[in-house]
Each structure stands twice: as structure tokens, then as C-alpha cells.
Structure 1
């Protein structure tokens, strides 16, 4: 039985789900199946650096803005309208629908 173990040379760089830039292996973080830069994992409202397991994703924004995580102590509990107003104030762009490949 042949076994293959991946190496850094086998790494296929993916784009960050937040900033859309390539994520090198040393900066890669996967949260809820989303690949992001370690530095991009911040509260979408206040900008505080987040820790896995101590934050919440606003699922109602996912289709429009992509993944938006919030610090679980204060910002996650703000009204949805207030969080969306902050995203617009910060210039967060609405996602373009992905084109189907034929």
C-alpha cells in the first residue's frame, strides 16, 4: 500500500475568505471551513483579534458579505441592523455571485 504525506511543496494556496488575498501556509487559519489569514480573524464590528471558540459568526450576512465573525462578549449581541450599518461604514462590499462553470 503506497502512502503519500503532504509537504509544504504540495500546498495549494487558497484565497482568504475575508480579504480575498492568497493565504500562505504559515498564515493559514481555517474556521468553520473558511480559510483566512491569522491577521484577518478580527471582530467585524470593533476590530478586536478573535480566538477560535470565543466568537460568533453572523449567519444572516454570509450570502451578502461572506463570513463575518464578532467577539462574543459584546459585539455578537448587537442588533443585526447595527452590525450591518457598521459593515457598510467600514466599506465592506457585497459579494458578487459566483459564475457557474460549464
Structure 2
């Protein structure tokens, strides 16, 4: 999954959506519940990506800037959680324990 480019405007949402799409097509396809959860995440994150693109094309007010910063930060946290999950699953670990910090996976 190398080559994902993070945009200053949209944060990590584009790479996150691409990683989720890859998960839908990978070995996780055998797990119906996982597929549903991945599709749910895609459906939730696509409007956020569109919001960030829209904000990058205009001069946002202070409230929009704050919301944009919040959504962009969430995108980085989401990408980290997906990477942690994929590392755990691909690494063959027995239990998934997210990293501690400001985010929760």
C-alpha cells in the first residue's frame, strides 16, 4: 500500500478510503461482518472527504476552519488505526490492542 499521498487539504481521507477499498477486495472478503463494517466506514468517510475538498476550494470562516482541522485530524487517526489493524492481522498477533494516546481505535 505504498504510494498513498496525503494532501494538506484533505488529510489522510483519500488514502484511508483507498485502504478500506483494498480491504474489501482482500482476504477479509470472507468475513461478512467485516465487509459490512468496512463498507459502513467508507460510507461515513466519503462525505467527510468531500467536505474537506470543498473547504480547500473556498475561503472558510473561523468555524469552518475549526471543523476542517478537526476532520483532518480525525483522518490521520483513522489511517493510523487502519494501519495498526492491518499490521496486527497480517503480523499474526493474537489480540488487537490499539496504541495508547489521544486516539482510540
Structures share fold, TM-score greater than 0.5: no
| TM-score of the superposed pair, with normalisation by structure 2 | 0.22
Q: Which of 1 and 2 has greater Rg? A: 1
The TM-score, its normalising length taken from structure 1, stands at 0.23
Give the helix-richer structure, 1 or 2.
2
Q: Tell me which protein shows more strand as a share of its residues.
A: 1
Higher relative contact order (CA 8 A, sep 6+): 2
